[in-house]
Amino acid sequence: MRKGELTRQAILERAVRLASRVGLQGLTIGGLAEELQLSKSGLFAHFRSKSSLEVEVLEAATALFTQVVIRPALARPRGEPRVRAIFERWMDWARSASLEGGCIFVAAAAELDDAPGPARDKLVQSEKDWLDCVAQTARTAINEGHFRPDVDPEQFATELHGIMLAYHHAARLMRDPKAEERARRAFESLLSAYRAPSA
């Protein structure tokens, strides 16, 4: 990797952490330059616009999520072990110390839900891809005989997503000390509802 690419990668890693704290709309080229102790013009040369910076930060966050959550979870055995790995890795992501403000995707969703543009489009695509991945994991659980054959994989993905959103809200906003315990109980209830009788 060339020096310019390494510099860009380092900038984006810092930008993801900063955006988790101040939000995408709070992320500016000037603020990022100050955080990195770089010139504003030098940073502008990398991104050209605030819109481009937002999209690239979401792309970098998606790549990080893939590295930290998706790849390790998909390396687990098919079926319920993989479903559990998805949940555990997702919980680890939500608690990650490197994301001071919590999950950047949850924060961005609140910011961008009514803000059409490239950043919203990128976030929507990332979320759809993730829900498809979770649904596919549920399909493997059906194929392995761990989940009932009549299970709707998309419904499972939606319900698991709901548990994680509730966890984020309880942990980050409400500061509920039982947030994780409640999320884990909800997950076990979800598995029980979808599990095949013989599993």
What is the tens place of the pLDDT at every residue in 43-98?
A: 777 787 889 999 999 999 999 999 999 999 999 999 999 999 999 999 999 888 67
Task: Return contacts of 59-66, CB within 8 angstroms, 24+ apart.
Answer: 59/122, 60/9, 60/12, 60/13, 60/15, 60/16, 61/16, 61/19, 61/104, 61/105, 62/126, 64/13, 64/16, 65/93, 65/105, 65/130
Average of per-residue pLDDT values in the chain = 92
List of domains in the chain: 54-194 (1.10.357.10)
Give the highest mean pLDDT range of 90-99, 102-111, 150-159. 150-159
Percentage of the chain modeled with pLDDT above 70: 97
Nearest-CA neighbor of 23 among 100, 128, 77, 96? 100
Nearest-CA neighbor of 113 among 25, 43, 49, 173? 25
pLDDT band for 42, please (50, 70, 90 cuts).
confident
Q: Is the pLDDT of residue 10 over 90?
A: no
